[in-house]
Amino acid sequence: MTRVFSAQQIQRVRRRSITILALGQVLGGMGSGATLTLGSLLIVNVAGNESLAGMAATMNTVGAAAMALPLALLAQNRGRRIALSCGALIAILGVLVILAAAVQQWWPVLLLGMGLLGTGSALNLQSRFAATDLSDPKTRGRDLSLVVWATTVGAVTGPNLFQPGEVISQAWGLPEFTGGFIIAMGAQAMGLIIYWLGLRPDPMHVALAREGKISTGISKRTSGFSTLRSSRPARQAVLTVALSHAHMVALMSMTPIHLQNHGSSLTLIGITISAHVAGMYALSPVFGWLSDLIGAQRVVLIGQLLFIVASISAWIWRDDYALVTFALICLGLGWSAATVAGATMVTGAVPLEQRPQLQGTSDLVMNLFGAAGGLLAGPLLLWLGYGGLSLILLLPVVVVIFVNRDFFSSKQLSRHHS
């Protein structure tokens, strides 16, 4: 028999779930931050080959993409609590594989561990969608963006695990650069406990009960890709998120190389990337609030305008460190606006019982586009230079604006206000 929840109970579950999800984001973000910094150093140390340094971020992306749909399917069949807890458990397994590979000096196995740890990124992405399970359209953007904002703490803390991690690795007699992963594993373990104990009752189950739907077996009704084929709003939302993410990854990943080639110190490069990361996450609640207030599509277009400012600034003032940093801040803000609003559009594109599968598909496509953007950016940088790359990246902006062109029709505007 389906349990009946009162309106007051639903609101209590909603608020508690958002708190739990945000705390889990803080803890889970440490693993991603450690992978992007210590991971590259550890791979070079184990393999003795600097050309493999970029594989840490690559395998993290591959792992996140590979686990997006399985975690979404698990959420749809068993609820968010089971899906997020399993994701954290797989990330912990990834750290154990990394530690074993580092001890044995097996760099291919080390890459496998990096991929498993990428599951942490997949569950972080799913957490932002989980925050909307009990939201109504008037609060969906804010609820989602609060969980995204919590990522800031983990993203900032993760890259700074080097010194305390080295103390641990030396005390335990482990290889260099592994201590930060032990801290990240502890954070993931805490996240697992928090998800398992805190998401009771499960927000997905409560949402299904509110609509009189059963919580098992619904994954057979439709898949994310079949929804994309049949639903224009779903295609519109997923493409918006994917292209915006690819734009950000392409320009961000090449900026350190450009700055280094122009004589900037590692300290200055670090300041630029930190400012960019702050732009990505710090104002996400503002963009979530705006998505609820003026409509998600309008916020997507604000994000594209910020991308235009970033690309043109990086093209015109590519030799000026301060203005390149300004461009990266605009890039981060544009990504925040486009992806927070785009994720809100993904959630609102389909009925509740179809959302987890579409959300997982969106995360998969987003990661694949991001990986493609990073891979293509290198050759484009060599061929066209940093300024040329910046201008080429205006093309996805044009596509996103075209995809969302129906916003300008009075029918679309009236649909939002209704």
Q: Convert the pLDDT of each residue in 9-28 to its tens digit.
A: 899 999 999 999 999 988 87
Q: How far is CA 344 from the centre of its chain?
A: 14
Other Cβ atoms closer than 10 A to 96 = 14
pLDDT band of residue 410 (cuts 50, 70, 90) is very low
Q: What is the pLDDT of residue 416?
A: 45
Distance CA 176, CA 229 (A): 49
Domain boundaries defined on the chain: 1-220, 222-418
Measured between alpha carbons, how far is residue 222 from residues 73, 133, 229, 321, 358 in Å?
Answer: 11, 18, 11, 49, 9
Asked: is 222-418 a CATH 1.20.1250.20 domain? The reply is yes
Whether the Cβ atoms of residue 103 and residue 48 lie closer than 8 Å to each other: no
Measured between alpha carbons, how far is residue 271 from residues 235, 329, 372, 374, 408 in Å?
Answer: 36, 11, 26, 21, 39
Asked, colleague to colleague, whether 1-220 and 222-418 share their fold, the answer is: yes
Out of 190-194, 211-215, 322-326, 347-351, least confident range: 211-215
**For the domain 1-220, what is the CATH code?**
1.20.1250.20
The predicted model gives 260-287 an average pLDDT of 84
**pLDDT surpasses 70 at 161:** no
Q: Look up residue 53 and give its two tokens.
A: 């340094």
**pLDDT surpasses 90 at 364:** yes
Distance CA 193, CA 364 (A): 26
Q: Residue 121 is inside which H or E element, if any?
A: helix 119-130
Cα 32–Cα 35–Cα 38 angle in degrees, nearest 5: 135
Mean model confidence pLDDT for the chain: 86
Q: What is the pLDDT of residue 221?
A: 53
Residues 6+ apart with CB under 8 A from 226: none
Tell me the whole-structure pTM to 2 decimals.
0.83
Q: Would you put residue 324 in left (φ > 0), alpha (ψ -120 to 50) or beta?
A: alpha
Other Cβ atoms closer than 10 A to 79 = 26
pLDDT band of residue 37 (cuts 50, 70, 90) is low
Preceding omega of 256 cis (within 30 degrees of 0): no
Under DSSP, is residue 136 helix (H, G, I), strand (E, B) or coil? coil
**pLDDT surpasses 50 at 413:** no
Q: Convert the pLDDT of each residue in 326-357 to its tens digit.
A: 999 999 999 999 999 999 999 999 888 888 98
